[in-house]
Structure 1
């Protein structure tokens, strides 16, 4: 990766857009999805941007632009329609310590805007580091079809209940609770239009702590020839669900990167031609972990 994907907090922060025409308007439309304060730096604004100011959705600053104009901004977008002017404003923005995106000038961009799949508060960002915007849009279309339109409202409900879960559900049971909430009855009810019933079920379960019985699961996952892109989709799914993974030196480290970051990893020591751990010991450990209700992968 030449660019690391990251989400930037915008609450109570300025998002500065330098320009008053169509390029600036394109960036404004995107940033209106956030709760940041839009600040438009330009002498004159086109009708669309002027309406944002008139309706209180953006501030207009027509004063001469200096490095201070960009100070403490969460993000800066520059798009005046004039490449020379954009380059000059880029220098001022960098002098003000800003992270900058200059329209159609990748070499001047510290940050780039991805294609977004928006199920607020669930957001999927897709980027190609500027190499293939058309491909990013095609992937966006595929992901849009994958994610249920009601997913965002259910995630928002879960967010409102996180405090109650933390207060009433033992830490050891929380992952099982959320796995049940998103993978079982509550989500199925919500996405079929039974939002209130789903919320009531979640609240009742939190109050009574009557979690569905946690059943352990063991998956034997073959790592194949070693390359992680040769794993089956089900193998990847099992790795991402696993609470604990037993692996050995025959497994490529890149395959382990597909697992949840907080999954426990247990090295069981197999090398070519020898077994540092007897197989019966490995099997006993796997069964013991599953008996605790954990999801286990032997990779």
Structure 2
């Protein structure tokens, strides 16, 4: 290493920033994450820095001399003038103050790392100035991995540490902290159950050991989105990386699974229309069985679990078994299709109602009336409708929608095999058959408020 990474205490100390423009403002934004007193040295300040002074978050001085750097934790120089930067650097060195000069690495005692801030948990990434793009990429990955509220759990642990030292026998402390940070309390805290988590930790401290049921598992139903892994939510990625076992189906892309922990067990529970090798009740039973072993179970579902995802059955099974269950929403196929088609699913004065419907039901009700709510002023997004396309078109035309109304179909949306198909209502079934469109496709029909809006319908198809 050519630079040693360490954390510099800022409490009760000054950080000097020389400059009054954007370069100085950038460093001020970084230092605002700390509790240091900021000293801004410049003749004039731009508006953002003036605001910091007005709020009492910084002080402003016009005097640039050795004294301003005395006993400062560090200094940043960014005046925009190379000569003035060099002079400020010399003054800081005379005061033996570590200094960073913007865009002049030869004048830097310090370099600023990429920071992942979960105060008081902080991760700093540096490459000694060799690869800033790489450090930013690593920062992005860590931002995805670390829950936004995990710092609060670390802070709580810090406040409770004296109580642990006083009440928990030494031989039980490691087990207690492992329980807090690796099992139930951490999972519950991340889910937003912070008050209940704090109570549970305090109860364990009073008892002098983690609870006997510390290995209790839980189930998380996670929306995998339409296919592209970068459409997953940060919370979905977090749950994948925490999971001990992941149950997934055929609609989940392999790239999404690559975001999971390497040592997580993966179980395929694929279901095909008309060929349910894994019936729903069996899936519900097995995810509950795994959770009762104390495992963190993720049921990974395409799109959003709460939209035609059979989430209710699995949540009911978990509740009946007394297993905690969480629902993590995902990007559903309808919104992804709208993005792929380059159109808004709703449009003022044309379509102010969005209908999400499915054309495929269960064995007792296989042919659902997916168009029953369609009418003037609506956009209907029909899931699992390719097999029923002729019937759907007939139903819409029977309601009064013209045969030449544009219809768009998004196939394998956001996946490598994505295909966008244009048709009319009257030719929908023939177009899908000619294009050999099957399976994972979404049919979008926009019905304007009146026939006077036909120009807008044409625009939808363009």
Report Cα offsets for 1:202-240 as digits up to 9, x if no partner: 00110111334699xxxxxxxxxxxxxxxxx77xxxxxx
Helix, strand or coil at the partner of 1:73: coil
How far does residue 44 in structure 1 lie from its aligned partner after superposition?
0.9
Q: CA deviation at 1:123?
A: 0.7
Q: Check the 8 A contact 2:15/2:38 in 1, yes or no.
A: yes
Structure 1 counterpart SS, 2:176: helix
In the alignment, which residue of structure 2 is the partner of 1:194?
193
Tell me what 1:56 maps to. Answer: 56
Aligned counterparts of 2:50 and 2:193: Cα–Cα separation in 1: 42
- Quote the offset at 1:96 in angstroms: 0.7
Residues 173-203 of structure 1: CA distance to partner in whole angstroms, max 9, x if unpaired?
2122111110111111111121111111100
Deviation digits for residues 20-45 of structure 1, max 9, x if unmatched? 11110100010000000000011111
Asked whether the 8 Å contact 1:73–1:98 carries over to 2, the reply is yes
Where does residue 271 of structure 1 map in the other structure? none
Task: Provide, for residues 85-122 of structure 1, a one-character-per-residue CA deviation record: whole Å limited to 9, x for no partner.
Answer: 10111011000110000000001100110001111111
2: CA distance, partners of 1:5 / 1:141: 20
Indicate the structure (1 or 2) with the bigger Cα radius of gyration.
2
Distance apart, 1:127 and its partner CA: 0.4
1:71 aligns with 2:62: no
Cα distance in 2 between the residues matched to 1:18 and 1:117: 25
Structure 1 runs, 4 residues or longer, greater than 3 Å off = 212-215
Check the 8 A contact 2:172/2:209 in 1, yes or no: no
Please say which of residues 155-164 and 31-40 is displaced more in the overlay.
Answer: 155-164
Alignment partners' CA distance in 1, 2:12 and 2:36: 6
Distance 2:135 2:209 in 1: 44
Number of matched residues? 217
**Hey, what's the Cα distance between the residues in 2 that align with 1:210 and 1:74?**
41
Alignment of 1:15-94 (within 5 A): 15-63=15-63, 65-94=64-93
Equivalent residues of 1:41, 1:60 under 8 A apart: yes
Counterpart in 1 of 2:111?
112
Whether contact under 8 Å (1:37, 1:58) holds in the other structure is yes
Matched residue, 2:13: 13
The 3-state SS of whatever aligns with 1:174 is: helix
Q: TM-score, normalised by structure 2?
A: 0.46
Distance in 2, Cα, partners of 1:102 & 1:175: 44
Contact residue 147 and residue 190 of structure 2 kept, 8 A: yes
Q: SS at 2:73's partner residue?
A: strand
SS at match of 2:30: helix
Instruction: Specify the SS of the correspondent of 1:40.
Output: strand
Partner SS state of residue 131, structure 1: coil
Q: Distance in 1 between matches of 2:113 and 2:96?
A: 22
User: Contact between 2:204 and 2:211, CA under 8 Å: does it hold in 1?
Assistant: no
Cα distance in 2 between the residues matched to 1:66 and 1:26: 22
What corresponds to 1:281 in structure 2?
none
Native 8 Å contact 1:176 1:214 kept in 2: no
Q: Cα offset for 1:69?
A: 1.1
Q: How does 1:189-228 map to 2 (within 5 A)?
A: 189-212=188-211
> Root-mean-square deviation (CA), in Å?
1.8
More helix, by proportion: 1
| CA-CA distance at 1:124 after TM superposition | 0.5
SS in 2 for 1:60: strand
CA deviation after TM superposition for structure 1 residue 12, in Å: 0.4
Matches within 5 A, 1:141-290: 141-212=140-211
The structural deviation recorded for 1:131 is 0.8
1:136-184 residue CA offsets vs partner (Å, 9 max, x unmatched): 1111001111111121111111111111111111223212211111011
For structure 2, the 5+ residue unaligned runs are 215-261, 264-462
Q: Take 2:52 and 2:8, find their aligned partners in 1: how far apart are those partners?
A: 23
Cα distance in 2 for partners of 1:78, 1:130 equals 17
| Long gaps (5+) in structure 1 | 216-232, 235-299
Query: Quick one: distance in 2 between partners of 1:123 and 1:211?
Result: 27
